[in-house]
Amino acid sequence: MLPDTIPSIILALSLFVARVSASVTIYTTTSSAASAAPQPTLCIGAVPCDGNVLQPMPNPTGPNLSQIVPVQLYPGGMNSMGIPVSGSFFGFSLELSVANRLFGNDGNKLVPIFLNLMATITNRAGKVLLRVGGNSQESAAVVPGGLPNDTAILKVQTGADKTFTPTLLVSPSLVYAMGNISSLLPIDWFIGLPFNDTTNPRLELAEIAQSVLGKNLIGMQLGNEPDLYAGNGIRPNTYQPADYTTDFGTVLHDYQSDPSVPNTNIFVAPSVCCGSSGNGWTPETVFNTGFLSQFSTNLAYISVEHYPTNNCNDSGILDPAALMASTFLNHGMVSQLSQQYWNTSQIAVTMGKPFIMFETNTASCGGFSGLSDSFASAMWSVDYALNMAYVNFSNALWHVGGESDYYNPFTPPATNQSHFRQWTIGPTFYSGLVVAEALGNSGQARVVDLFLNNNNNFSPGYAIYENGNPQRVVLINYLTDPSGASNYTAYISVGGNATNTPGGTPSSVLVKYLLSPSATEKFNITWAGQTFGGAFESDGRLTGTEQTYTYTCDQTNNVCAVPMPAPAVAIVFLSSSAQSESGPSATQTFSTSGLSAGHAANTATVAQAVLATSNGRGGGNWVGLGSTSPGSSSGAFSERLRSSSLVIPVVVVALTSAATIFRASSWYS
């Protein structure tokens, strides 16, 4: 069946490329006051160069603004600390349809920039968890013999099915690339399996993944946001949690009957996303159909997916500046997001199963320009990740979609620029570094929300305990105030004071800051003085000298004063061992002049001249699909959107007179 489709693929593809070519506009970024970081002079219609910077929210006055914030820690532990989590808590979910563009088409052509980025995290966290999947997994079909031009993924509109969902052809080489990545770096994988058709379950992806990835395959997802299936046309309108449970059982049985899938106890489910906006399903409505008792041994993870908001426009166009203040620079809203899963996490803990946020980011349907790609999203992601750790999630994966998505932690350039451009590193990638260092790599990190400053929305803080000892404090100042009037000082005390325990405040603390001049800044972001730079500037390695501040404490008065600029995130390490545990050691780096499996894995440095001209994308055979990510539509998009989605591969939207932006819209129009 599959080889027959190739000719139509080629046709579809050439039409597709022709559309892209006809409408590319080259423009020079206009510099904006808030985004003064160096930008490439040529930014060809790319989302990271749209220059759209929002206004920071106005600062509060009166009781909401306190320059003195006491932080009292208790030796031995604190009430309602989360369960122990690992440094790899913060991982990434890579949309299947663009996965080859992120890490390469096969094991011999890995993308060094991707490897460098992952090394910055593994180096701190000890490991990274990556999921390959998303909406596009549903229609995936493996072509065992591979695809034309050695590409690993090809999206094709067969026109055969009435929902116009394109088939995503996948070459086994994609999985070999994953296997080679795990032999270079400590990376474990989740894979999303197709589930659009229970009568034709297409088991090949699981077969190949199990045989190639072995123990590095830690989970297989069956059912991606099933609460949206009815709306998306993947199932009938009457689709209910009980139907999902039945379907899961049917397909599970197919896997169990397949000797090439030896491990059927690593499933990830139920991955419902949307509560009231997703037909009212919650994890519990699925559990109440007997799901957990029926599949308890087959489930390695209990999963949910959730984005706090969306840019789908199904209930009108939302204003990103208003959302920034109401939803993102707002600890109370972060707490509410986690709170809806208290019951679910309790069930998972009781069952002894890890509870995973399998896909999240700022906003589904691609995120918002100026919000999802701003420093606000970085601060929010730290707050949200630590809050999830506090309410007993065990991992959370930030989604990466196509190049037209604003929320991406990292974005490669358009295919035909890959030989001279580097990648754009989004603000949320920095959050991954911060969370990795905050949690350390002991696997014993227990997070507690300190409800700082009388639970003020603008100045959240967390303590991280290991084996009963407070090791680190994470502080956030959501306000933007160049005047300095919104800076605060955290007065941290361990024990002593009014706790009826002996004072244990250390003689000094080490502090690293995540800094940017404004919550709305896009590129001038530093973590401990280091940065990935501006649009299409990064080879995946941090540049600059690492900067750690040491503040001497007042042990007589049992207090350490730590200044907090506005805005900022800080990790306060309460001992040098708390810092060295997750402090980056010598980071493994990968030459961007080409990487073959087993070769050149440890190239320590690469001359900039080489970088600038190298094939930094791991091979010249990338099929140029422009921006095709259904990841940009992942999450809570509505029935209206899906049902109105015709096949319009690329829509060109003029944002300003100077710029043309490609929007992925193959899933919606």
Ligand X SMILES: *[C@@H]1O[C@H](CO)[C@@H](O)[C@H](O)[C@H]1NC(C)=O
Positions in the binding site for ligand X (CB under 6 A): 10, 13, 20-21, 24, 36-37, 63-64, 70-72, 80, 82-83, 106-108, 139, 141, 148-149, 160-161, 167, 173, 176, 179-180, 183, 196-197, 212, 284, 287-288, 311-313, 317, 342-343, 345-347, 349, 365, 391-392, 416-417, 456-457, 484, 487, 491, 493, 497, 515-517, 524, 557-559, 565, 597, 623, 663, 668
Distance (Å, whole) CA 205 – CA 594: 28
Q: Look-up: residue for tokens 């990487």? A: 595
Nearer residue to ligand X within complex by CB, 265 or 557:
557
DSSP secondary structure, 195-217, as one string? -S-TTS---HHHHHHHHHHGGGE
Q: How far is the CB of 441 from ligand X (least distance, A)?
A: 21
β-pairing verdict for 187-193 and 461-466 = unpaired
Shortest Å, Cβ 233 to ligand X: 8
CB of residue 417 to ligand X, shortest distance in Å:
5
CA–CA distance, 321 with 56 (Å, rounded to integer): 8
Q: Which helix (H) or strand (E) holds 433?
A: helix 427-439
Q: At what angle do helices 427-439 and 375-390 cross, to 10 degrees?
A: 30
Task: Quote the CA–CA distance of 377 and 357 in Å, as a whole number.
Answer: 17
Q: What's the 3-state SS for 533-592? A: CCCCCECCCCECCCCCEEEECECCCCEEEEEECCCEEEEEECCHHHHHHHCCCCCCCCCC
| Residue 12 and residue 496 in contact, taking contact as beta carbons nearer than 8 Å | no
User: In the bound complex, what is the minimum distance in angstroms from residue 511's beta carbon to ligand X?
Assistant: 11
Between 121 and 450, CB nearer to ligand X: 450
Beta bridge partners of 398: 92, 360
Residue 63: CB minimum distance to ligand X, A: 4
Question: How far apart (Å, rounded) are the C-alpha atoms in residues 583 and 126?
Answer: 11
> Residue with structure tokens 């350490």?
560
Nearer to ligand X by Cβ, of 120 and 524: the residue is: 524
Min CB(110)–ligand X separation in Å: 9
Backbone angles phi, psi at 359, to 5 degrees: -155, 125
Cβ(298)–Cβ(351) under 8 Å?
A: no
* String of DSSP letters for 58-88: PPP-GGG--SEEEEEE-TT--TTPPPPB-GG
Residue 550 or 580 having the CB closest to ligand X: 550
Burial zone of 561 (CB within 10 Å; 0-12 exposed, 13-18 middle, 19+ buried): middle
Question: Is the Cβ of residue 442 or residue 497 nearer to ligand X in the bound state?
Answer: 497
Nearer to ligand X, 437 or 521 (CB): 521
CA distance 418 to 342: 44
What element of type H or E holds 181? helix 172-184
Tokens of 57: 């929210």
Q: What would you report as the CA-atom Rg of the chain, rounded to the nearest whole angstrom? A: 24
Q: How far apart are the first and last CA of the chain?
A: 30
3-state DSSP assignment of residue 509: strand
The minimum distance between CB 556 and ligand X, in angstroms, equals: 9
Least distance (Å) between residue 435 CB and ligand X: 18
Least CB distance from residue 495 to ligand X, whole Å?
10
* Minimum CB–partner distance for residue 71 and ligand X (Å): 6
The minimum distance between CB 67 and ligand X, in angstroms, equals 8
DSSP state of 422: -
How near is the Cβ of 642 to ligand X at its closest, in Å? 11
Nearer to ligand X, 404 or 592 (CB): 404
Report the nearest approach of ligand X to the CB of residue 418 (Å): 10
Give the number of other CB atoms < 10 A from CB of residue 167: 20
Between 3 and 586, name the residue whose CB sits nearer to ligand X: 3
Whether residue 567 has a cis bond before it, omega within 30° of 0: yes
93 vs 516 by CB, closer to ligand X = 516
Say how far apart CA 275 and CA 228 lie, in whole Å. 10
Cα dihedral 532, 534, 538, 544, rounded to 10, equals -40
* Lookup: tokens for 188: 């474990």
Distance CA 221, CA 147 (A): 24
Taking the complex as a whole, the smallest distance from the CB of residue 506 to ligand X amounts, in Å, to 14
Pick the closer one to ligand X by CB: 10 or 321: 10
168 - beta bridge partners? 140, 155
Q: Which is nearer to ligand X, 344 or 591 (CB)?
A: 344
How far is Cα 414 from Cα 531, in angstroms, rounded to an integer? 22
**Beta carbon nearer to ligand X, 471 or 665:** 665
Tell me whether residue 456 or residue 579 sits nearer to ligand X (CB atom).
456
Q: Which is nearer to ligand X, 351 or 607 (CB)?
A: 351
473 within 8 A of 572, measured Cβ to Cβ: yes
Q: What CA–CA distance (Å, rounded) separates 80 from 567?
A: 28
Residue nearest to ligand X (CB): 107
Residue 605 DSSP class: -
Residue 537 Cβ vs ligand X, minimum distance, rounded to whole Å: 12
Closer by beta carbon to ligand X, 199 or else 585: 199
Candidates 62, 76, 58; CA nearest to 504 is 76
The least distance separating ligand X from the CB of residue 258, rounded to whole angstroms, comes to: 18
Comparison of 343 and 602: residue with beta carbon closer to ligand X: 343
